[in-house]
Structure 1
């Protein structure tokens, strides 16, 4: 069997709605890894809230965080690691205009750290719900360019916030609105998508584009699925993602849709 790169999104894809990896999914990915394939997590999550899934799957492959802004092999040096940042000045410019732009909470990430202007209970799995003094966002605590800025804005203030970012930072950052019902926008380096990480990993392992199979469900997966030789949208994916995918799983993320599709694709028996 030719070596494949299997690029897997986490939320809504590998994880069920309880943010868990099923035993079937774990066994399937483990078998494919042992057959010589490269299984890589390609997620919008930062490493601080995705490492547990990497560890659970006992991976030793590269992974991508923050939608491709960081690509690395956790816990070790990898010569192909990269990290694309956004200007530190942007962070404090937005803070200076916080009230007029309708910014409620702003969190800032690098590879291993998070800072925020205040803690929030909105999404404790994703946004910091408590902060140590050295995590409170200020020019004294954030001394370098971060990788990602996540802004929770007040309802109806998105047009004004996006217009300000595009007017002042259009050549530098790319705003992406989160899926779902949350008023959250993410700012990462312009041109960064999950596709960039998938290309980097495939090139590093000598895997042809046609031997890339990628799974996703949300708009931030679109570029990755379009690039992959086989881009697979989950049954529960938004329609935009299904339209760009080569195929759609017959089962959703709560019914082991990705694992069952992989078993069929690679001719594996369910154990």
Structure 2
């Protein structure tokens, strides 16, 4: 039996709207791993936003990895090693910060284990983002003191206007001469990364490490930042609750949504066909 590699988005896919993993999802994931298949978390979340899920799913096993920051960091829970990383330079961080101040768009940055925020951005938008991940804290850095700062990604937050975030992202791509990419991971969140960094390029890195042909990969997601992942995988799956743009590029759409164990549905239909 060919071994499959399952790439899972977290929010809106693996977890329900209350950020819980269903027992059906847990059991299906555990069973597929026991049969020799691989599970890879592929998320826009920072690494420190995945540690609880690593423990809950017992991913500290051989062949299990985490792609964090939309493909910007590849982490092996078993060895606790970072195998690959891609970060924004201080120059690009300064450019984004300057434009954010001008456009009045809240931003914050990320290293491996902290949210980094300039003092002038300690506001309601920051507290909104921090509140999305229980237990998350942030570290203030002095305003305009970015010379030694690196970041895997920058998040732009606007709770009132998706269009404003899209315009801000387009502006950043233009003034950076294509060195920056920007895309929505939620209607209120803009992800700003090095050009070419996305969940799809992350799949290439993992399959190379595992030595498995990409046609044996399956990717499941729900948001527009999952588009490269679904396009790159052997089979791309959109959850029932996914955006229409994602469904348009998917090979399959689940019958269940994230509140009804969509991940388990995918596992039993595409990987463990004889175990259900």
Fold match (TM-score > 0.5)? yes
The aligned residue for residue 116 of structure 1 is: 117
Q: Pick from 50, 75, 79: which aligns with 1:76?
A: 79
The aligned residue for residue 104 of structure 2 is: 102
C-alpha distance 247-94 of structure 1, shift in aligned 2 (>3 A): closer
Determine if contact 1:176/1:185 at 8 Å carries over to the other structure. yes
What CA distance in whole angstroms lies between the structure 2 residues aligned with 1:15 and 1:250?
Answer: 16
User: 1:1-271, aligned counterparts within 5 Å?
Assistant: 1-59=1-59, 60=61, 61-74=64-77, 76=79, 78=81, 81-103=83-105, 105-117=106-118, 118-119=122-123, 120-123=126-129, 124-126=131-133, 131-132=138-139, 135-138=140-143, 143-153=148-158, 155=161, 157-158=164-165, 161-162=168-169, 164-180=171-187, 182=188, 184-265=189-270, 266-269=272-275
Query: Shift in Å at residue 222 of structure 1?
Result: 1.0
Q: Number of matched residues?
A: 264
Determine if contact 2:5/2:216 at 8 Å carries over to the other structure. yes
Query: Shift in Å at residue 125 of structure 1?
Result: 2.0
C-alpha distance 20-10 of structure 1, shift in aligned 2 (>3 A): same
Query: Shift in Å at residue 112 of structure 1?
Result: 2.0
What CA distance in whole angstroms lies between the structure 2 residues aligned with 1:163 and 1:128?
Answer: 32
Determine if contact 2:68/2:74 at 8 Å carries over to the other structure. yes
What CA distance in whole angstroms lies between the structure 2 residues aligned with 1:152 and 1:136?
Answer: 18
| CA deviation vs aligned residue, 1:198-219 (integer Å, no higher than 9, x gap) | 1111121121122111111111
Determine if contact 1:121/1:129 at 8 Å carries over to the other structure. no
- Between stretches 35-44 and 46-55, larger displacement belongs to 46-55
Over aligned residue pairs, what C-alpha RMSD do you find?
2.5
C-alpha distance 12-30 of structure 1, shift in aligned 2 (>3 A): same
Determine if contact 1:101/1:157 at 8 Å carries over to the other structure. no
| CA deviation vs aligned residue, 1:64-96 (integer Å, no higher than 9, x gap) | 0111111121363558x1111112123334434
C-alpha distance 88-127 of structure 1, shift in aligned 2 (>3 A): farther
The two structures have a TM-score, normalised by structure 1, of 0.87
Structure 1: which 5+ residue stretches go unaligned?
A: none
What CA distance in whole angstroms lies between the structure 1 residues aligned with 2:36 and 2:100?
Answer: 50
The two structures have a TM-score, normalised by structure 2, of 0.86
